[in-house]
Structure 1
Amino acid sequence: MRVVLSTYGSRGDVEPLLGLAVRLRELGADVRLCAPPDEEFAARSAALGVPLVPVGDAVRPLVTGAASSAPTDFPTRVARLTAASYEAVLGQAAAGGAVVATGLFPSAAGAMAAAEKAGAGYVYAGLQPTVLPSPHHPPFRYPGRPAPPEGADNAKLWELDVESMNALFGGAVDAHRVSVGLPTVANVRDHVLTGRPWLATDPVLGPWRLPAELDVVQTGAWLLPDPRPLPAALTAFLDAGGPPVYVGFGSMPMRGSEDVARLAVEQARAVGRRVVVGSGWAELSGGEGGATGAGSAGSGSAAAVPDDCFVVGEVNHQALFARVSAVVHHGGAGTTTAAALAGAPQLVVPQIVDQPYWAARVAELGIGAVHDTTVPTAESLAAALRTVLAPRTRERAAAVAAGIRTDGAEVAARLLIDGGF
């Protein structure tokens, strides 16, 4: 059976599909991953033996501002990504097989059109509950769209979301569909999401709340076991003292929020904690009062920095988070899940899109705290860290960790193999 997995986004969009791909391959499926051509994604896929078919431009330069040739007008970007995803997926899909799509909406729309054209089954998979219409949460508000009427409930907001999605994506998606011989659609959002989407989140961390009109299949998070050992220098640092605080913001460029990382490092050190800094796409480095440490692993050459800090680049978070006292991060689905599974208390500093949702879940579950990025001060971060580092928070984090499922990729893979979609 040929299964094509399609996404366009950052590491948090690619990694779950790799977890699903590995499990599918173990069950005998022929798997292809259509994803951005970033070097780190290609290297990760190659290491796992999953063929990667490039889609569009590399994501990291677009996110960090290093790209100079990307189109600036929104309709052109939508049209290009829809077409790029369509071509990549169509070149791999097979009649009677399956296409699973997630990531940016135009990418999913292109993947769905390819599945229709190829005669393959199609599944839309959300990596967070907030992407799916529900009376229990509002939709993401797109920039430039009219403000909703005051006092509108979630049901009304989701009705207005259809109008926004049609206005933003409908024209380009329909134009592409017509160009490849497919009919137009009246409601582009619900067409791409389908009436039975999947939700690849853990039921404890990101539950699908009932009652809801949408028939959602929650598989559990698509986790990819990581057997990689930690670098020897990092292991030596961890062995040399008490559990450090990890500070890292993944693929977030942290424009305008640089002080959050700096202050988090300073406050962790102020309460006597050592620090491990994840350089990430923001290229955090610490220097004096900042975030580079006595050593580094996978993030370039070491700098002259405090002995109680250490910088890492690409590293096994599953192994690292099991050895830290807390994780300070942006609230991405992958990092939130990895920290929760490790039983590490979390301080979430949400930036965009679904990150406020995950931050709220961390607070609701009592496994950490949330900090607003707009007003970072030494005092506010110190107060948040005190909550996170309190023994009761670690006890609660350990209790929640015991209930997190690790079989999400297995559940999804078997559904695909058995045709249950």
Structure 2
Amino acid sequence: MLSTYGSRGDVEPLAGLAVRLRELGAEVRVCAPPDEEFAQRLAGVGVPLVPVGRSARALMTAAPPPSSLPDRAAELIAGQFDAVTAAAEGCDVLVATGMIPAAAGALSVAEKLGIRSVSVTFQQLTLPSPRHRPLAYPGRPFPPGVTDNRALWELDAQSINALFGAALNTNRASNGLPPVDNVRDYVIGDQPWLATDPILDPWQETPDFDVVQTGAWIVPDVRPLPAELGAFLDAGTPPVYVGFGSMPMRASTDVAQAAIEAVRAQGRRAVVARGWADLALIDDRDDCFVVGDVNQQALFGRVVAVVHHGGAGTTTTATRAGAPQVVVPQAADQPYWAGRVAELGIGVAHDGPAPTFDSLSAALRTALAHETRARATAVAGAIRTDGATVAAKLLLDVVSGEKATRVRVNHA
């Protein structure tokens, strides 16, 4: 049972893991939001979707005030108890990831059913470490005078308990489970899995827990590019890709205008991805093409640069393709991925979430430079491609191993 609640970036890695598990003879179910794009993606690799809760896109684009976070948490946790309890019957191991309240609910279901479980994150910023700061929750900024990372992680635990603790423990009590004192530590456990590439996301060991870094979970995308897109690509020089995935980008019209004009100023064509921002073309000139959900693995190999939001999946795909990047981070872990792209020399970290013609023009000049392309090509060859296989084999070892509620494994 693979359980998540979040955006496409939370669902796509589970598709990669599910494919590898099935190749090794396991039966797999994925519990995820009922969004049509998620269902289609999983159906495309032959994996059944067990829907949980309401549309992730509807939930994330509604933008209620931060005070509603506890209400959202209660909804997510209750949904996990309802959907995952039924779907996990007969399973040997449960993998939980996605938003903390959803993961806490799924892990509680595994505990209730006596199923072994594994907690997974797709970026290290949710793992406490003295080497980096935690992410602040909306409406709950850290005190400006507190700079020690360990003290910040203590405040992080307090915030998570305040936001999600009551909803989690109410549902646990109604299911005959004892209360959880520290929601974050319950979700992480003492041996979390980090499903990221060690070049892009190098983890430094900490005495607090034992992290298993498997590599990113990637499913080879064999979908052909649409014929019209293929014709556009063949008709001229490689374009610049512009897309922001599951980010709403509320000023999307201005973003599309700035991006397309900045690409044109570099003498380049553009492929614009609609995404959750509903980006669109700004005129009827033939140097731009708009796409929906397409095979990014194939497309990124045919573009000269990728302008994106900095999600873990998009960053990994662009890096594997050797495409220079301009990362315009919007929220959560995206500034971290932007920083890693810049540190590796494979692209540019845009300053802030609101791109303009001038800021994108400057970033593209650096991304399109020969030195950036050469570095991106070199790093692409070092990115691992076996992360999902490593994780699948470890999970099967868990199934055949000791009878424990939380998994104990060694990194292969």
Q: Which runs of 5+ in 2 are unaligned?
A: 399-407
The Cα offsets for residues 317-373 of structure 1, whole Å up to 9 and x where unpaired, read as 000000000000000111000000000000000000010110000000000001123
Contact kept in structure 1, 2:21 and 2:392, CA below 8 Å: yes
Q: State the Cα distance separating 1:64 from its structure 2 match.
A: 3.1
- Other-structure match for 2:317: 338
- Other-structure match for 1:308: 287
- Other-structure match for 1:147: 142
Describe how 1:66-77 pairs up with structure 2 within 5 A.
Answer: 73-77=68-72
Contact kept in structure 1, 2:307 and 2:326, CA below 8 Å: yes
1:97 aligned onto 2:92: yes
Q: CA distance change for structure 1 residues 257 and 307 in 2, over 3 Å: closer, same or farther?
A: closer
Alpha-carbon separation, structure 1, partners of 2:61 and 2:353? 20
Q: State the Cα distance separating 1:94 from its structure 2 match.
A: 4.2
1:352 aligned onto 2:331: yes
Question: Greater CA deviation, 87-96 or 52-61?
Answer: 87-96
Describe how 1:12-411 pairs up with structure 2 within 5 A.
Answer: 12-65=9-62, 73-94=68-89, 97-145=92-140, 147-256=142-251, 258-288=253-283, 305-373=284-352, 376-411=355-390
Alpha-carbon separation, structure 1, partners of 2:365 and 2:52? 44
Alpha-carbon separation, structure 2, partners of 1:142 and 1:212? 26
Q: State the Cα distance separating 1:213 from its structure 2 match.
A: 2.5
**1:145 alignment partner AA:** R
- Which ranges of 4 or more aligned residues in structure 1 deviate by more than 4 Å? none
Q: Which runs of 5+ in 1 are unaligned?
A: 289-304
Q: CA distance change for structure 1 residues 74 and 406 in 2, over 3 Å: closer, same or farther?
A: same
Alpha-carbon separation, structure 2, partners of 1:269 and 1:212? 51
**1:18 alignment partner AA:** A
Q: State the Cα distance separating 1:257 from its structure 2 match.
A: 5.8
Alpha-carbon separation, structure 2, partners of 1:235 and 1:97? 44
**1:120 alignment partner AA:** I
The Cα offsets for residues 279-310 of structure 1, whole Å up to 9 and x where unpaired, read as 1111111123xxxxxxxxxxxxxxxx111111
Contact kept in structure 1, 2:259 and 2:356, CA below 8 Å: no
SS of the aligned residue for 1:22 comes to helix
Tell me which of the two structures has the higher relative contact order, counting C-alpha pairs closer than 8 angstroms and 6 or more residues apart. Answer: 2
Contact kept in structure 2, 1:126 and 1:199, CA below 8 Å: yes
Contact kept in structure 2, 1:134 and 1:212, CA below 8 Å: no
Alpha-carbon separation, structure 2, partners of 1:180 and 1:353? 32
Query: TM-score normalised to the size of structure 1?
Result: 0.91
Q: CA distance change for structure 1 residues 212 and 384 in 2, over 3 Å: closer, same or farther?
A: farther
Alpha-carbon separation, structure 1, partners of 2:49 and 2:385? 25
Contact kept in structure 1, 2:305 and 2:325, CA below 8 Å: yes
Alpha-carbon separation, structure 1, partners of 2:8 and 2:264? 29
Alpha-carbon separation, structure 2, partners of 1:370 and 1:279? 22
Q: State the Cα distance separating 1:92 from its structure 2 match.
A: 2.1
Query: TM-score normalised to the size of structure 2?
Result: 0.93
Q: State the Cα distance separating 1:188 from its structure 2 match.
A: 1.2
Q: State the Cα distance separating 1:379 from its structure 2 match.
A: 2.2
Question: Greater CA deviation, 220-229 or 375-384?
Answer: 375-384
Alpha-carbon separation, structure 2, partners of 1:20 and 1:51? 13
Alpha-carbon separation, structure 1, partners of 2:141 and 2:260? 39
Alpha-carbon separation, structure 1, partners of 2:262 and 2:91? 56
SS of the aligned residue for 1:347 comes to strand
Alpha-carbon separation, structure 2, partners of 1:241 and 1:401? 25
Contact kept in structure 2, 1:101 and 1:111, CA below 8 Å: yes
